[in-house]
Amino acid sequence: MQWLPAALTSRRTFRRFLSRFIRSRLSFRGYFDLYNIPFLYINHSAFTEKKSPLRPGGLNQGLNVFDHLERDHIQYHVSDPARTEEQNLEALVQDICAERIDFAFLYWPGLDGLLHRVGNQSPEISAKLRLYEDWIEQLLAAVKQHYDQTNLYVFSDHGMANCETFLDLRSKIDALPVRMGSDYAAVYDSTMARFWFFNDFARRQIAHALSQVTQGRIIPDNELEAMHVLFPDRYFGELIFLVQEGVLIVPSHMGERPIRGMHGYHPGDKHSYALLCSNRPEIPEDVVAIPDLFRLMISEAMAAKNENSCSLDYSGLGTKFRQSPKALASDKPLRSQTVLSRSEKSLGQTSYCR
Ligand SMILES: [Zn+2]
């Protein structure tokens, strides 16, 4: 595709079409998007999100929450990213009315896209949150008719900062007497640039140039290690330059044009914090960061399954478990349900292979 004119290959509609084409040809099932990666370098890139993370077997390594649910024979519902947010809400309500499930994972990515487009202070954000509130109320109303207890958790997987400064990092690196492809490789994300070096001269040149850029800094190994992102094989980059909150690297391999909001800054930055709220009186003390939600989901799903199999035993399958007082007053099977709403998909990431 290197011979196609850049005017065509950089067009968003063309790249979307090509993303879909490549996804089907290579059997990618994830949210694969080529973003703005030059076709000249695409054969060097290994895309991490090749499968759907919302399905069992969706991770390249390790088990996801859906693998665990299937292994433990827990009946669940999960959103289909190909559907709209409202269609996914309706699909979940149907499964609730059929009393088919112990656990649900509802996925609403719209807020993320809107925040990227309009920033975090637009009145459109309040309107979107109000709409989510209405939908959650509809959901809970449906749940109430069919389940005695619902543990609801609403969470995001990151925050969102407004972009105030645009940094053309690529032109600073392109001006150095080293060449992409033969001396080094680079991936320009929106908030960080990641480099791999093929010789020491390139490493010194680029590290020095980056040290002069005041809008960001090279993250030292001890800090990478503290954030659990220091990989011994440096698969995701030998050098990682991270910008300050509010700075957007543009143009980048994620986009040619500036946008209003971005995430992916240092986890300690003010707008990096994610949200978790619940209708439970308390959230377990060991749930303090996004990775902890994995454990929370599995334990809640297991608890719901156990609770529901108790009540099913009561309604004719053999009384083995204790019956709760509320179920005695109800002619419906007692089931509890965990409803989880996730408001963001992670951006597809690339890593560089030599
Ligand atoms: Zn996003």
pTM for the whole structure: 0.77
What was the pLDDT predicted at 41?
A: 57
Closest C-alpha among 113, 109, 118, 161 to residue 266: 161
Same domain, 108 and 130: yes
**One domain, residues 252 and 302:** no
Q: Report pLDDT for 337.
A: 52
| Domain termination site, one of 271, 301, 326 | 271
How far, in Å, CA of 79 to CA of 88, rounded?
6
Question: What pLDDT was estimated at residue 51?
Answer: 82
Q: Compute the distance between CA of residue 303 and CA of residue 288 in angstroms, rounded to an integer.
A: 21
CA of 291 to the centre of ligand 1 (A): 18
180, β-bridge pairs: 184
Split into its structural domains, the chain has a count of 3
**Rounded (10°) angle between helices 85-97 and 123-146:** 10
Do residues 153 and 291 both lie within one domain?
yes
Distance 141 CA to ligand 1 centre (A): 30
Cα of 336 vs centre of ligand 1, distance in Å, is 32
Cα of 348 from ligand 1 centre, angstroms: 10
Q: What pLDDT does 137 receive? A: 96
User: Is residue 259 domain-shared with residue 286, that is, in the same domain?
Assistant: no
How far is the C-alpha of 50 from the C-alpha of 65, rounded, in Å? 17
Q: Is cis: bond before 81, omega within 30 of 0?
A: no
55-78 residues labelled b (16+ CB within 10 A) or e (exposed): bbebbeeeebbbebbeeeebbbbb
pLDDT of residue 46: 60
267 and 169 belong to one structural domain: yes
CA of residue 300 to ligand 1 center, whole Å: 27
Q: Which amino acid is at 67?
A: D
What's at 205, amino acid-wise?
A: Q
Neighbours of ion ligand 1 (CB under 5 A): 112
Sign for the CA dihedral angle at 237, 238, 243, 245 comes to: positive
The DSSP element (H or E) to which 281 belongs, if any, is: none
Residue 11 CA, ligand 1 centroid: distance in Å: 20
Q: Would residue 320 count as lying in a domain?
A: yes
Distance from residue 115's CA to the centre of ligand 1 (Å): 8
Distance CA 267, CA 6 (A): 35
Q: What is the pLDDT of residue 343?
A: 39
Q: Tell me how far the alpha carbon of residue 310 lies from the centroid of ligand 1, in angstroms.
A: 41
What pLDDT sits at residue 256? 85
**What's the 258 CA to ligand 1 centre distance in angstroms?**
14
pLDDT of residue 6: 52
Both 241 and 334 in a single domain? no
Look at the chain and count its residues.
354
Ligand 1 center to residue 32 CA distance, Å?
Answer: 14
Domain that holds residue 134: 65-158+274-342
Q: Is residue 211 part of a domain?
A: yes
| Whole-angstrom distance, CA of residue 33 vs CA of residue 16 | 7
Q: How many CA atoms lie within 13 A of 344 on its CB side?
A: 21
Same-domain status, 199 and 262: yes
Residue 23 lies in a domain: yes
In order along its 354 residues, the chain shows pLDDT tens digits of 444 455 554 555 555 555 555 445 444 444 444 455 554 555 555 655 568 899 999 998 899 999 999 999 999 999 999 999 999 999 999 999 999 999 999 999 999 999 999 999 999 999 999 999 999 999 999 999 999 999 999 999 999 999 999 999 999 999 999 999 999 999 999 999 999 999 999 999 999 999 999 999 999 999 999 999 999 999 899 999 999 999 999 999 988 899 999 999 999 999 999 999 999 999 999 999 999 999 999 999 999 999 998 765 443 333 222 223 333 333 344 455 555 443 333 322 222 222
Q: Nearest 5°: CA angle at 89, between 283 and 335?
A: 55
Q: How many whole angstroms from 112 Cα to the centroid of ligand 1? A: 5
* Whole-number pLDDT of residue 306: 94
Report the alpha-carbon distance of residue 39 to residue 19 in Å, rounded. 12
Q: Which long-range contacts (CB under 8 A, 24 or more apart) does 302-307 make?
A: 302/72, 302/74, 303/336, 304/74, 304/102, 304/103, 304/151, 304/335, 304/336, 304/337, 304/338, 305/72, 305/73, 305/74, 305/75, 305/102, 305/103, 307/149, 307/334, 307/335, 307/336
Ligand 1 center from residue 116 Cα (angstroms)? 7
**Residue 182 confidence (pLDDT):** 95
- Calculate the alpha carbon distances from 37 to 44, 253, 339 in Å: 11, 5, 37
- The amino acid present at 59, given as its one-letter code, is L
**Ligand 1 centre distance from Cα of residue 248 (Å):** 13
